[in-house]
Chains A and B, each alone.
Chain A
Amino acid sequence: MTMMNGAEIVIRCLQEEKVDHVFGYPGGAVLNIYDELFKQDKVKHVLTRHEQGAVHAADGFARASGRVGVAIVTSGPGATNAVTGIATAHMDSIPLVVISGQVATSNIGQDAFQECDTVGITRHCVKHNFLIKNVRDIATTLKKAFYIARTGRPGPVVVDIPKDVTADRHSFEYPAELQLRSYTPVTKGHSGQIRKAVNLLMKAKRPVICAGGGVVLSNASGKLADLACRLNFPVTNTLMGLGSFPGTDPRFLGMLGMHGTLEANMASQHCDVLLTIGARFDDRVIGNIESFAGAQRKIIHVDIDPSSISKRVRVDVPVVGNVADVLEEMNRLIDAESEKPDIGEWWKTIEEWRGRRSLKYKTGKEIMPQFVIEKLWELTRGEAIIASDVGQHQMWAAQYYKFDAPRRWLNSGGLGTMGVGLPYAVGASFAGLGKPIVCITGDGSIQMCIQELATAKQHALPIKIVLLNNHFLGMVRQWQELFYESRYSQTHMDFQPDFVRLAEAYGHVGIRVEHPQDVEPALRKAFEEHKNDLVLLDIHTCPGANVFPMVAAGKGLSDLILSDSL
């Protein structure tokens, strides 16, 4: 057999996994790997401008494409810079393989230059991690890494490879099969539990389906739509679940939770059967836990991760299994039922809640951020891939951009990482989706990974950046206004760069927008005239605009603060 060095084995493994793009940043400990990357053209490398950006980009690629995202970083600071990206992916169960360089095995533990205990540091924010100590283990370990990352409840896997291991020589054989005695993720749900769940659904008078990110991850939105349409049940989404059910379908109640719609929150609280699929009863989703659990209703919980079941809320019918498989089985059972539940009364109640139009907002001389998102949705016909940052703009995007298909909404839901938006947009650009890619961001978030404007230029990515600029860290400002008697401690951005000139300095197009009537023409200009350019729209929005409805921390889901325009 042909002998090759460890670095070439790494690249061959990536090729075997059909990886076409990796995101990374070179450095001393990964020199061998970068040298092998240079010698081939199957695996294309995207050079970001920061390791955090590389991991976020790989994460954005994974979210948009449904494939495993791959990032390569060097040892020490390369690895520590990657940690935020890894933790972000971990909280949202995104499949990643992050390859980090490590100092030579003989130097490990010697406080060598650019040494850190990468496996130790990342242990708490990965699904699993490996340190490869021998060249003969590279192929099997990478095979395991990809398998673990994408199966079961997906997640990031870190593979730490010392420099000498990438230089050592060995033959290459990619294992066809894997036997992992300690890792056997379930797929099919327990048929008895599924039967019980269906029986409950068929008897429901006031049902609600709550679909989360798990539906997106298991590519089960078609099956979810089948179920909801067969039964004519109302559907709500968690932040991570947006797009798993068509946002324009009349059965869709909008998002639930801290910034959920009145109808979604009220229905979730007052239903008699709640079918939660691929969601984990996060504190931002259910509000006060006692209030949520105290409601008189039966809960069915479908999730692939047994530890998600009854972790925060005791459920009545747990079903552990892959969401797609379980939904398919449910649909089969429902088909066999002759009578569908009559929930006409329940729909009337829901329509009354919906009739209060909880997303209405006041308009005036200033640009309302909600208006910008609505215009963006109209102009892109809801077809764009939206990469969002974290803050008020994220919530407005979630509320006002109606996602009709999964994998169009990329955002950091669990960890809430500011700065993901631009690198997510970069990553998604390589997923080959043929749709416009938009980054919705704020003046705080965009500056956390602004350096990726260079990556976008280098690869000529025509991303449209919708920057809702209110000169504030808006979400924190909103909390200060509502709960800290308007003491705006360190949330006002006194100085801002000139974002238009900043975009131009990176070789992009910048457009400043200051009046409501200019919003639509500016968006048109960006999407039509500058179709092939990256355009940064610096949109100066009403600084006092708040995200409503809002469930204050510690309050129950039905205890909503509504906009004063209602």
Chain B
Amino acid sequence: MRHIISLLLENEAGALSRVAGLFSARGYNIETLTVAPTEDVSLSRLTIVTKGGDDVIEQITKQLNKLIDVVKVVDLSEAAHIERELMLIKVRATGKDRDEMKRMADIFRGRIIDVTDSTYVIELTGTCSKLDSFIQAIDRGLILETVRTGVSGIGRGDRILKL
């Protein structure tokens, strides 16, 4: 099962590597990881997408809680939540592909944010699988470069991860 684990950690040197190190040391898998400070600069919010059975996810949550720098841990995928990821993708846009690429970007509600006579950079936001679908949908040979932020997530409604 795919899980999105969200945590608040002290915004201190080395805190991120404690989290990343825990995953590698105990053989847990990281699909994506994203981290940045919150509105409270002393805290960072980190989102990890991982895969594992219930036992593994339970251990991951407990082990994360055990890290001294980790303030709070929540498994977002346990209840209603929103996930978003941002992708910047540079594609070849020449000849008939130029129009086609513009159309695909529109269909996926992407925005073209850089244009040259032979390339576009498309900005696309959505769930992981939406971004995957876009990559599937366009001609692979036209992709010059992709960069993805990894998943960020937030609980719906009253589910709030705060101190």
Task: Tell me the A residues contacting B by CB distance below 8 Å.
Answer: 119-120, 123-124, 127-128, 131, 148, 180-183, 305-307, 309-311, 314
Contact = CB atoms under 8 A, between A and B. Distances in A.
Nearest to B14: A119
Given A182-B70, A310-B58, A311-B59, A123 B65 contact: no
Contacts, number: 39
A492 B68 CA distance: 45
A123 B71 contact: no
Interface stretch (B17-25, B76-84, B142-150, B151-159): B17-25
A310 B55 contact: yes
Contact of A183 (B14, B18, B55, B68): B68
Contact of A306 (B18, B65, B70): B65
Contacts of A127: 68
B18 A123 contact: yes
A183 B59 CA distance: 18
Contact of A128 (B17, B58, B68, B71): B68
Nearest to B72: A182
Nearest to A183: B68
A313 to B, nearest CB: 11
Given A120-B14, A311-B62, 19 more contacts: A120-B17, A123-B14, A123-B17, A123-B21, A124-B21, A124-B25, A127-B68, A128-B68, A131-B13, A148-B68, A182-B10, A182-B68, A183-B68, A306-B66, A307-B62, A307-B65, A307-B66, A310-B55, A310-B58
Nearest to B66: A307
Contacts of B58: 310
A496 B71 CA distance: 54
Contacts of A306: 62, 65-66
Given A124-B25, A131-B14, A310-B58, A182 B69 contact: yes
9 contacts: A119-B14, A120-B17, A123-B21, A148-B68, A183-B68, A307-B59, A307-B62, A311-B59, A314-B55
Q: Which has the most chain A C-beta neighbours within 10 Å: B9, B25, B58, B68? A: B68
Contacts of A131: 13-14
Contacts of B10: 182
Contacts of A182: 9-10, 68-71
A91 to B, nearest CB: 13
A305 B66 contact: yes
A128 B25 CA distance: 15
A488 B71 CA distance: 51
Contacts of A123: 14, 17-18, 21
10 pairs of A and B residues whose beta carbons are closest in the complex: A307-B62, A182-B71, A128-B68, A306-B62, A183-B68, A307-B63, A307-B66, A124-B25, A123-B21, A181-B71
A183 B71 CA distance: 7
Nearest to A314: B55
B163 interface: yes
A183 B18 CA distance: 15
A309 B71 CA distance: 20
Interface in B3-47: 9-10, 13-14, 17-18, 21, 25
Nearest to B69: A182
A124 B14 CA distance: 12
A306 B63 CA distance: 9
Contact of A181 (B13, B55, B62, B163): B163
Nearest to B22: A124
A120 B13 CA distance: 11
